[in-house]
Amino acid sequence: MTGIAWALHARVGRLSTGLTLLLGAWPSSWPPWSSSAFLSVPLNPRAPLVPLMLKQVDIERWNSRRRGSLSEARGPVVDIISQVREKGDEALFELTERFDKVRLEHLKVTREEIEEAYREVDGALVDALRTSKANIEAFHRMQRPADMWTREVSPGLVLGVKTTPLDSVGIYVPGGRASYPSTVLMCSVPARVAGVPHVIMCTPPPVSPLTLVAADISGVDAIYKVGGAQAIAAMAIGTKSISPVQKIVGPGNIYVTTAKMALRHLVEIDSPAGPSEIAVLADSTADEGFIAADILAQAEHDPNAACILITTDETLASKVGREIEKMIVRSERKEIIERSLQNCGYVLARDEASAVELVNFIAPEHLSIQVGDPQKALQGVRNAGSIFVGRYAAVALGDYASGTNHVLPTAGFAHVHSGLDVPQFMKRSSVQIVEREGLEFLADTVIKLAKAEGLHAHARSVSIRRQSDEG
């Protein structure tokens, strides 16, 4: 059965500290429970042969390959950070020429370059970006907490919370295999909804006109033609051209992720981002074509993308495999997909309840629920980055335009992390408003506890206030 269950340990090793991540060590005992209790269905030798596009994979070999290590990037990243710290902008120019093969005249994108980008991008595509931005903004406004709320909990004692946006945020937008204007929107719009007054963006050159238009539409204040670990170092440490920010968000490659982890003592970050992934929870009522399409949609992101079908119906797995074989023939990114599908497979659960627990075990970035009673299955899901419910809920809708955020925890981080949202760009301060009556209500309790801890000055700071009106 282990061959079918190959994906149960799919990137679920949690990296507890930046040092652990940089060293590439994944705690072997996490998660602390075993997967075997979920999989009591024995391998049926007479079951239909599943096509190789949805093959069985040895779990140990797959798991050792998928645990992920940043250790190979640590040395180069430390060197890059040191260069940026010592030489500032000069290092950024040198490193950009070295890695991106582009000799820059200036780091900051000019207004003229943005206007030229608008001329190069089709008007219908600009309209699509504006529609997507409006939907993202509408959903994220629902998440924004009140600037402050207070409540009187007893006479003379009012408690509350004051919520304040961060002062500055840096967005990293990758280049390379594709242009990602949607990532610009997903990172910048929530920051603006939160009220962050200064939002900058770094992206490697040459910068796609579509990326520039998206940044302008979403209200990014400054765009810099810098990529890789050097961009993260610049936004964390600061240079003459790029002011340091309080938080950096956005996906990137192994060097970007390593740099973010290495600089966490200087700047807050979102959760480390790894290759894209999807889990499809499906039963015999599901449409195999829809499932295959969703798997290919994630597979085309990256050769390391991970896709898994969790089902109670082995016949469905066979059908999905055949659909994948047919669809891949006409895929524009066939080479990437074929490499990614090496990380693709299925798990056969004994019943729907077990299937849902398998989802919780894996904690996927994207979860597609395509079962007869999707609402029931949804209620049992505890660990997933973004959940797509029903046969018509294509994951691509959330990637671009439904309004939910596509910057999500990967590699099992959905066990403890959420996707990017408005509160992540804000901080909260507790508020206490105390009048004389409130002081009297709490004074005896505080004085007794403070003296019990040996903190007599704490006790006197309360008793002196009681005595002030008595004298």
Cα separations in angstroms, 287 against 337, 369, 371, 374 = 21, 12, 10, 14
What is the length of the chain? Answer: 471
Which secondary-structure segment (H or E) carries 163? strand 157-165
Give the tokens for residue 40. Answer: 């009591």
CA distance 120 to 123: 9
* DSSP output for 255-272: HHHHHHHHTTTTSEE-PP
Residue 198 appears among annotated catalytic residues: no
CA distance 53 to 346: 11
Do residues 215 and 223 touch, judged by C-beta distance below 8 A?
A: yes
Which secondary-structure segment (H or E) carries 200? strand 198-202
Give the tokens for residue 434. Answer: 């105390």
Catalytic residue (choose from 365, 406, 415, 417) = 365
Residue found under tokens 């119906």: 313
Catalytic residue (choose from 9, 140, 301, 366) = 366
Residue 357 appears among annotated catalytic residues: no
CA distance 421 to 364: 18
| Alpha helices for 198-287 (secondary structure H) | 209-217, 228-237, 254-262
For residue 117, the number of C-alpha atoms closer than 13 Å in the C-beta half-sphere is: 21
> Which residues form the catalytic set?
365-366
